[in-house]
Structure 1
């Protein structure tokens, strides 16, 4: 399966399957690492995966999915769990994924800073605190001060 976010990875998936007479319980355990792109510098960054997922599978008249209960038609004689595995791993990816402070690609961070008005995107090596204001907003601030 292709993913725009996941570049590569190595995740071990253990599946414990139990049958109690009328339903199957599938207990997935995920451990490993995937490689995703940093939102800030676009370099590869690792993301640890350590999660679990449980789903109950029952036979019924037609396909239905509610919470963690999956009902499949009685005519189906197999269940493809690939999408369950993919979705569980994809849900572990945070909305914003960036390197820890100071670990972004310095060259890309410098280019990004040169094209944005926000000076706080990445720490600088010289520990200088940005104290100035954006001159484009100074005129508007003066209007507020005059009232």
Structure 2
């Protein structure tokens, strides 16, 4: 978890106006999350922070490659992603915990903003529901050896059932065919 400290922005000492931050996201980042969909990647997160008196506006741009597993051939491949998100951070003196997708509420006593959870969510939400080498990868096709194993014809259940038919049912089938 010590690795995640670098994804914090100490905003209390910043002047009003725009500030840019850049974060590198790699395997160490994803290792900190036990059940992450993404296990590895090489991404750059550019965060533009616009500080106002009682409000922070954060614009995220995350670009890079993540390692995905193909749902067809089970091989791992790098998939390019680009994420653009925006979030507002409001400050309140009350103990407020009702955050929404677009508004994050912090206490007036907070002095830094932890971006770890936001970056993690944005990246994992960018993962396609169905991953396929040829669709999400760059110039990659599914593993032909694995596809050969998958495409071997399995005996059809209907044929196997027809061979083991009780003679009484066979007689009824003859009636049906007339």
Q: Shared fold by TM > 0.5?
A: yes
**Partner SS, residue 134 of structure 2:** coil
Counterparts in 2 of 1:8 and 1:70: CA distance versus 1, 3 Å: same
Change beyond 3 A, Cα 1:65–1:34: same
Task: Tell me: CA distance 1:4–1:27, structure 2 relative to 1, closer, same or farther (3 Å).
Answer: closer
Q: Which residue of 2 aligns with 1:82?
A: 116
Distance of 1:34 and 1:43 partners within structure 2: 14
Unaligned runs of 5+ in 1: 118-133
Give a deviation string over 1:13-40, Cα, whole Å, max 9, x none: 1011011211000111111111111111
The structure-2 alpha-carbon separation of the partners of 1:50 and 1:16, relative to structure 1 and needing over 3 Å to count, comes to same
Which entry has the higher C-alpha Rg, 1 or 2? Answer: 2
Give the C-alpha shift of residue 104 in structure 1.
Answer: 1.0
User: With structure 1 as the length reference, what TM-score do the two structures score?
Assistant: 0.73
Question: Which is bigger in relative contact order (C-alpha 8 A, separation at least 6)?
Answer: 2
* Residue in structure 2 matching 1:53, options 60, 64, 85: 85
Equivalent residue number for residue 149 of structure 2 = 111
Distance 2:121 2:154 in 1: 35
Distance 1:17 1:40, change over 3 A: same
After TM superposition, where is structure 1 displaced by more than 4 Å over at least 4 residues in a row? none
Question: Aligned match of 1:44 in 76, 84, 87?
Answer: 76
**Structure (1/2) with the larger helix percentage:** 2
Structure 2 unaligned segments of length 5 or more: list them: 1-31, 163-172
Deviation at 1:5, TM superposition (A): 2.8
Contact 1:5 1:37 in 2 (8 A): no
